[in-house]
Amino acid sequence: MSRLLGLTGIIAAVSGIALGLETSRMPMIVAGGVVAVVLGFAPGLDRRIRTAGAVLLALMALYLRYTGHSATPYPAVDWIRPRGMDVWPGLLQASGMLLLLVASPAVLLGAGGRWLRTCACAGALLVIAYWFFPQHFVIDELGAAVEGRATMPVVEEGRIVSRSWGRAGVPGTPIAMLPQVLDNEARLAAIAHGMGHEAARLAGETAGGTLRATLWGAQRALTVVVLLAGVLSMAVAALVVLGLLWRRRMPRAARVGAQAVLVVALVGPPVANLSLRIAGLAGGLSEAQDAPLFSLMLSGGMLGCVLVAWAAGQVMIPQEGGEE
Amino acid sequence: MPVLFLLAALSLGCGGTADTEVTAPASEPAQAGAPDLGLLLVAGLRTDSQGTDGAEAAFRSGLPQPRVVFEQFYSQSPAPFSSVGSILTGRYPGAIPLCNRLLSGEHKKTEAQQAWCARIPEGVHTVAGVLGLYGYRSLLVSANFPGADALASGFTDHRAVQGWTQVQAAVDSWWAANPDGPRLVVVVLGDGADTVLGESSLKRFPEHRLQWLETVTPDVARVEVDPQEVRKAYTAGAAQAASVFSGVARRIRSHATRPSWVVVGSTSGMSLDERTGFGDAPVPLLTDNILLDRTIRVPLAIIGPEAAPQVVSTPAQGIDIMPTLAALAGAVVPAGAAGVDLLAPPQPAQVAYSEFGDMIALRQGDHLLVFRCSLHNSTALDPTVTEQLLAPLKTVPVGHYALYNIRLDPMQEKNLRHLDLERVAAMRARMVAIRTGAAAVPEGAITPKRLWALRMAPSEGYW
């Protein structure tokens, strides 16, 4: 599995150079890739060093992904956008998931040394704490169009209507605000969908309406799945805590389920975004042609980050779990 | 004739609606005795009545006499970028329109998305551009001041230097290269983080990033600082800025026969280790990312040959600087510039208005009214801020408004909102009038696409 880490490093280094023109962070991406190559291929390197290096690389990639985020009007699962008070709670939650991805394979097998157990404990703490940490959420409000107020083209029941777009700051914890956040995501998708249609109409594009509607329909559904996977990650965290205390091999269904939830929560968004982007490009949607390389870098960065973390978790299994 | 032609063009390009902004183009060429002018600003220095243990005094004592000192001077934003944009144009930030700099993310990408509000747009005249029509040559020197390029509109030259010690050389060389005609020199000093603390080694969270954590989890993350150490560093920064400005002012006043005037002050203030003024939430350490009296009330002095030493205690504000410099140069203020001449007799009903993120503040008399509608990470250009402000007082959450007597309570410890409802209503009416009038975002500036970009921008703080 360390080869996988090395291969990921090669991909990161090459893609970092290839996409360097699109981001000022190219040197960090390339450097991270080179380190990953060393960690993956250097002979005689202790597995713990490989793992620790991989974890750090994954966290660095995650940081780059979060702080490199920009507004995306194109159909995409925008799971980075802060729904609460700041970027950092979401970043810490995602860091927790990554740590669980690294540590859970060994821990759920009843194995794991001190550092891996610490890693699992920190991951579980971050994942659970996020949902109960009070924040202010910005909730978007759509109302009747009023003269003199900002109006937006919004898709409602298949038709574009003009609506006023207001906002309100609402205090609450993420877990309590979840229903409102889910509704809010649907409203934002309706606005972005309407903007896409309106921009196309102004540009004289007559085709693509059905494809655009389909992509936004997929986006709305996938956003719900990703958000709920985030909630379910609390159950994974609880399971990992149980594994830390029990120190026995968990049933296979629990281990596979835990990995599946984490993978959906972490890999789902970039895979969905790449798929939506490719479908949009293939269908000739003009908005899909806006900064495709930048979009590829953002999705690719997250995929690489998860891949490195997953590889690190797999590296630990033979030594700690004895399954390989 | 070319000057008249340019002035006519200036009057046509002032923006805004034709019925409200009647331009009075200057009809005279440069005056024979036009003075050399200076505008010297440092980021993050607040007034001294709020417990800085002598920072403002150190700043003032380093400056030449005679001078007019403004005790109740307010910047239009606690963000130095927006504040300087406002000072240079004589407009409130929203009316330029100017959003503050985005604080994180892939700047290249996000600033391009906000290009319409990321710099002083063409058609909005700066003091340098206006004085240029009167024969002035102008220089902007920015020292470690992020975004200065976007504010250099209308200047003949812009020199960006990294260290404050390089400012004098930049001014001297430009001064020597431009010996003829009246000159305008503008200097803005920063430390890259909106403060005067760049040279200090104070322990703190990275500004704008982790500062929220610093206040919400004191057991885990609270940074302990020595109050004396903070004030010592703050005062040292103020003294250093005064030293730089003193040298530049000497250069500006060096002409044997031409008179000169120098306006010296700060772009914006900052909160040091104080925690009050933000409702129940503690204010983060060493920040300017919240609208408080101490983040917007700043020192200002005007030094000139005919300036009888005096202290002005009526409220004045950043947008007044442009009309003041224009009056000294004998220039006509373009339409859209909303300030007044600081050297003219003060108007009794004068107020000061600031806005930042989801917050608006109005100073009138001894009182400061602060409006805040809890739109985290938002920009003051967001129309929702106006809509929330316009909502009837009875329908908005109690926490949206706070009233303080700044003369008695400069640290904003006691909210008088419930004790003086009449004053709240009167000041709110004035706030609404400015927000929807002189400070309003120009009609048509915010398109659906721009509004989306504004609201979706990843900012990690108010901007």
DSSP state of A206: -
Q: What is the 3-state secondary structure (H, E, C) of chain B?
A: CHHHHHHHHHHHCCCCCCCCCCCCCCCCCCCCCCCEEEEEEEECCCCHHHCCCCHHHHHHHCCCCCEEEEEEEECCCCCHHHHHHHHHHCCCHHHCCCCCCCCCCCHHHHHHHCCCCCCCCCCCCCHHHHHHCCCCEEEEEEECCCCHHHHCCCCCEEEEECCHHHHHHHHHHHHHHCCCCCEEEEEEECCCCCCCCCCCCCCCCCCCCCHHHHHHCHHHHCCCCCHHHHHHHHHHHHHHHHHHHHHHHHHHCCCCCCCEEEEEEEEECCECCCCCCECECCCCCCECCCCCHHHHEEEEEEECCCCCCEEECCCEEHHHHHHHHHHHHCCCCCCCCCCCCCCCCCCCCCEEEEEECCEEEEEECCEEEEEECCCCCCCCCCHHHHHHHHCCHHHCCHHHEEEEECCCCCCCCCCCCCCCHHHHHHHHHHHHHHHCCCCCCCCCCCCHHHHHHHHHCCCCCCC
pLDDT at B181: 83
Cross-chain Cβ contact A69/B376 below 8 Å = no
Considering only residues A253 and A21, tell me which one the structure prediction assigns the higher pLDDT: A253
Q: What is the maximum alpha-carbon separation in chain A? A: 71
CA A223, A229, A233 angle in degrees (round to 5)? 150
Mean pLDDT, range B75-102, rounded to an integer: 94
The Cα of B390 is separated from the nearest Cα of chain A by a number of Å equal to 12
- Region for A182 from its dihedrals, namely left if φ exceeds 0, alpha if ψ lies in -120 to 50, beta otherwise: alpha
Q: Cα-flanking dihedrals φ and ψ of residue A155, to 5°?
A: -90, 120
- Closest CA relative to residue B352, chosen from B336, B368, B337, B341: B368
CA B341 to chain A, closest CA, distance in angstroms equals 33
Radius of gyration of chain B (CA): 21
**Where in chain A does DSSP place strands (E)?**
135-144, 151-156, 159-172
Q: Which amino acid is at A159?
A: R
Q: What is the ipTM of this complex?
A: 0.81
Cβ–Cβ below 8 Å for A169 and B106: no
Average pLDDT for A269-280: 93
Mean pLDDT of A282-300: 83
Q: What order do you get walking across the sheet with B367-372 strand by strand?
A: B351-356, B359-364, B367-372, B401-405
d(CA A129, CA B376): 21
Q: What is the pLDDT of residue A151?
A: 82
Which token pair is A55?
């974890």
Q: Which residues of A touch B453 (CB under 8 A)?
A: 71, 73
- For B374, the closest of A70, A136, A165 (CB atoms) is A136
Find chain A residues with C-beta within 8 A of B377's C-beta. Answer: 82, 85-86, 138
More confident residue, A42 or B130: B130
Query: Mean pLDDT in chain B?
Result: 85
Closest by Cβ to B106, choosing from A68, A151, A199 = A68
* pLDDT mean over B31-54: 87
Indicate the residue of B107, B378, B457 with minimum beta-carbon distance to A71: B457
For B44-81, what is each residue's pLDDT tens digit?
999 977 777 789 999 988 888 778 999 999 999 999 99
For the CA atoms of B90, B92, B98, B100, what is the dihedral angle to 10 degrees?
A: 110
pLDDT above 60 for B336: yes
Nearest CB among B358, B387, B456 relative to A81 is that of B456
Burial, B454: exposed, middle or buried (Cβ in 10 Å; 0-12, 13-18, 19+)?
buried
Q: Say yes or no to pLDDT of B406 above 90.
A: yes
Closest-CA distance, B106 to chain A, in angstroms, reads 5
Q: Among A15-29, B227-241, B347-361, which stretch is predicted with the lowest mean pLDDT?
A: A15-29
Task: Give A289 or B354, the one with higher predicted confidence.
Answer: B354
Q: Among candidates A111, A155, A122, A126, which has minimal Cα distance to A318?
A: A111
pLDDT for position A133: 87
> What is d(CA A316, CA A302) in angstroms, rounded to the nearest whole number?
22
β-pairing, A159-172 vs B36-43, is unpaired
Q: Do B105 and A68 touch (CB under 8 A)?
A: yes
How far CA B451 is from CA of A72, A150, B373, B379, B455, in Å, comes to 13, 8, 18, 11, 6
pLDDT above 70: percentage of residues in chain A: 87
- Grade residue B213 by pLDDT with cuts at 50, 70 and 90: low
Q: Could you tell me the sign of the dihedral formed by the alpha carbons of A113, A116, A122, A124, in that order? A: negative
Q: Residue B279's pLDDT band (boundaries 50, 70, 90)?
A: confident
Is residue B134 over pLDDT 90?
yes
Amino acid at B224: E
Give Cα separations from A254 to A107, A230, A235, A243 (angstroms). 12, 17, 10, 11
The answer to whether B126 and B369 are in contact (CB under 8 A) is no
Provide mean pLDDT across the span B399-405. 94
Amino acid type, A73 = P
How many Å apart are CA A1 and CA A4, to the nearest integer?
5
Check: CB of residue A236 under 8 Å from CB of residue A45. no
**B187 or B310, higher pLDDT:** B187
Chain A residues with at least one Cβ partner in B under 8 Å: 23-25, 67-73, 78, 80-82, 84-88, 136, 138, 149-153, 165-171, 191-192, 195, 198-199, 291, 294
Instruction: Answer with the residue of higher pLDDT: B337 or B107.
Output: B337
**pLDDT surpasses 50 at B25:** no
**Mean pLDDT, rounded, for A85-92:** 80
Residue B107's closest chain A neighbor by CA? A68
Which has the closest alpha carbon to B106: A293, A279, A50, A131? Answer: A293
Residue range B169-188, pLDDT digits in tens: 999 999 999 998 899 999 99
Per-residue confidence (pLDDT) for residue B207, from 0 to 100: 45
CB distance A86–B377 less than 8 Å? yes
Residue A134 phi/psi, 5-degree rounding, is -65, 140
Chain A residues close to B212, C-beta within 8 Å? 85-86, 88
pLDDT score of B394: 84
The pLDDT score that the predictor gives to residue B210 is: 55
Confidence of residue B6 (pLDDT cuts 50, 70, 90): very low
Distance from CA of B455 to the nearest CA of A (A): 9
Which residue matches tokens 């550092």?
Answer: A115
- State yes or no: pLDDT of B164 exceeds 90: yes
pLDDT given at position B4: 41
3-state SS class at A79: coil
Q: Is the peptide bond before B448 cis (omega within 30 degrees of 0)?
A: no
Q: Report the distance separating Cα B360 and Cα B338, nearest Å.
A: 17
What span, in angstroms and rounded, lies between the C-alpha atoms of B28 and B33?
13
Tell me the longest C-alpha to C-alpha distance in chain B: 70
What average pLDDT score do residues B37-43 get? 97
Alpha helix (H) ranges present in A19-81? 26-41, 47-67
Distance CA B411, CA B293 (A): 8
Name which of A118, A231, A82, A135 is nearest B217 in CA terms: A135
Cβ-defined contact of B451 to A150 (cutoff 8 Å): yes
Nearest Cβ partner for B448 among A88, A167, A195:
A195
pLDDT at site A72: 67
Interface mutation vs chain B, best among A86, A130, A177, A287, most B CBs within 10 Å: A86
A88/B212 Cβ within 8 A = yes
Q: Are B321 and B263 in contact (CB under 8 A)?
A: yes
Distance (Å) from the alpha carbon of A63 to chain B's nearest alpha carbon? 10
> Which residue of chain B comes nearest to A142, CA vs CA?
B384
Q: Residue A101's pLDDT is what?
A: 92
The answer to whether the Cβ–Cβ distance between A72 and B456 falls below 8 Å is: yes
Euclidean distance between the first and the last CA atom of chain A, given in angstroms as a whole number: 10
pLDDT at residue B384 greater than cutoff 80: yes
Which of chain B's residues have a Cβ under 8 Å away from the Cβ of A81?
456, 458
Query: According to the model, what pLDDT value does residue B47 have?
Result: 92
Q: Among A159-163, A287-291, B7-11, whose mean pLDDT is lowest?
A: B7-11
* Cα B395 off chain centre by: 32
Element (H, E) at A293: helix A292-316
Q: Which chain A residues contact residue B104 at CB under 8 A?
A: 67, 87
Residues of B near A (CB-CB distance < 8 A)? 104-110, 113, 209-210, 212-213, 358, 373-378, 382-384, 387-388, 446, 448-449, 451-453, 455-458, 460
**pLDDT tens figures, B367-383:** 999 999 988 778 999 99
For A137-176, b/e burial (b = at least 16 CB within 10 A) is: bbbbebeeeeeebbbbbbbeeeebbebbbbbbbeebebee
**Per-residue pLDDT reduced to its tens digit, A93-147:** 999 999 999 999 999 998 878 888 999 999 999 999 999 988 888 899 998 987 7
Q: Which residue shows structure tokens 């120098």?
A: B262
Structure tokens at B357: 């993120």
What's the pLDDT at A287? 85
pLDDT class for A206, splitting at 50, 70, 90? Answer: confident
* Percentages of chain A per state (helix, strand, coil), in multiples of 5: 70, 10, 20
Question: Which of B105, B374, B451 lies at the smallest CB-CB distance from A169?
Answer: B374
- Say whether B374 and A171 touch across the interface (CB within 8 A): yes
